[in-house]
Structure 1
Amino acid sequence: MEDKVWWVKKREYGMNNILVREFYPSDDLPLFIILSLANTKIIKIINILKEEMNYSMNFLTS
């Protein structure tokens, strides 16, 4: 299945741009994988993404 790629803007998370790719595994739950990170705040980003998974992802495509 095709995957979708978005650039998460710096203003949304207060840091450099990160490339986030959304995959749809067999259970149809989105899995967010950070492909590129410009700084070392990876744990903070992962926690934010886990929280965002419970909400609409419309802001990523706007």
Structure 2
Amino acid sequence: MDCVALVARGETDWKIAKTLGIGAETVTEHLKTARDRYSVTKRTMFAIRALVDGAISFTDILC
């Protein structure tokens, strides 16, 4: 869920990787898997769906 919140903040895969201390390829794969689960292809739609489903909250995004 950390990846999802950082995507919703507009961070790049590279920045998310640096923030979480993991490889950029790992972030890319996590996000691809998560987007597939939500049946979306765009990062923005992914963030919206995660908000609607309660996977993340506005507090997660704004912090």
Which structure carries more relative contact order (alpha carbon 8 Å, separation 6+)? 2
Shorter-chain TM-score bucket reads 0.3 to 0.5
* Bigger share in helix: 2
User: Which is higher, the Rg of structure 1 or of structure 2?
Assistant: 1
More strand by share: 1
